[in-house]
């Protein structure tokens, strides 16, 4: 099968922080030929960064808690325990954003930065792409309330032992995609990270 599609029409539905467009399109079928005309709505691409902050010497993870509009229907409340992150602006690299957001949201300087991977978050409706990293930090003095006032951020830092943070996945306290992926990755690579971040360079 040829992986082909034809966009017949694209119309803007909403433009704010997010941009929503409606597409009329057709695409090739596995059985041959073309699909009927279909309509899909798409949140236009945003590029973002998420970073797991880890202190291998202390075997501790630096997490943040903040209110999230997308979690209004959560079991308990819409404050999520997460890893740090932010959107990539014009002229920025993912690495630039990782270091900036670590300082803004957690007050931590990243000493080494290791790429974990890059992925689409919800490709059924959105083009948002996440660059996921692990950042080595000194968690000895991590804590407090952080965030940018102009952006309405109110972020509390929480430091957990790595095994406690990993357990929070299964307890349901950490239930966002990036946090789950990053901590499962840490569970697989924790011993090698404690021997030295360079052992995983080029991962």
Active-site amino acid positions: 151
d(C-alpha 181, C-alpha 187), whole Å: 10
> Residue 69, Cβ neighbours under 10 Å: how many?
6
Q: Nearest Cα to 155, choosing from 92, 100, 102, 114?
A: 102
Q: Measuring CA to CA, which residue among 8, 4, 2 is closest to residue 39?
A: 8
Return the ∠ at Cα 51 (arms to 14 and 59), rounded to 5°.
155
Rounded Cα distance between 39 and 66, Å, is 35
DSSP 76-89: S-SEEEE-EEEEPP
Q: Name the pairing type of β-strands 38-43 and 19-27.
A: antiparallel
């Amino acid at each position: 099968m040829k992986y082909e599609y034809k966009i017949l029409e694209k119309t803007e539905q909403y433009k704010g922080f997010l941009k929503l467009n409606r597409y009329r399109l057709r695409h090739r079928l596995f059985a041959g030929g073309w699909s009927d005309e279909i309509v899909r709505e798409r949140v236009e691409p945003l590029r973002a960064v998420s970073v797991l902050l880890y202190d291998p010497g202390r075997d501790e993870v630096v997490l943040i808690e903040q209110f999230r509009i997308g979690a209004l229907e959560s079991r308990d409340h819409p404050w999520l325990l997460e890893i740090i992150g932010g959107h990539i602006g014009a002229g920025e690299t993912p690495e630039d954003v990782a270091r900036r957001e670590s300082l803004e949201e957690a007050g931590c300087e990243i000493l080494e930065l290791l790429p974990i991977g890059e992925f689409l978050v919800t490709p059924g409706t959105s083009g948002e792409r996440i660059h996921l990293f692990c950042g080595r930090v000194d968690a000895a003095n991590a804590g407090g309330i952080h965030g940018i006032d102009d952006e309405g951020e109110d972020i509390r830092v929480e430091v957990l032992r790595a095994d406690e943070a990993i357990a929070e996945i299964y307890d349901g306290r950490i239930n966002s995609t990036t946090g789950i992926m990053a901590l499962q990755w840490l569970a697989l690579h924790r011993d090698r990270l404690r021997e030295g971040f360079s052992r995983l360079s080029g991962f």
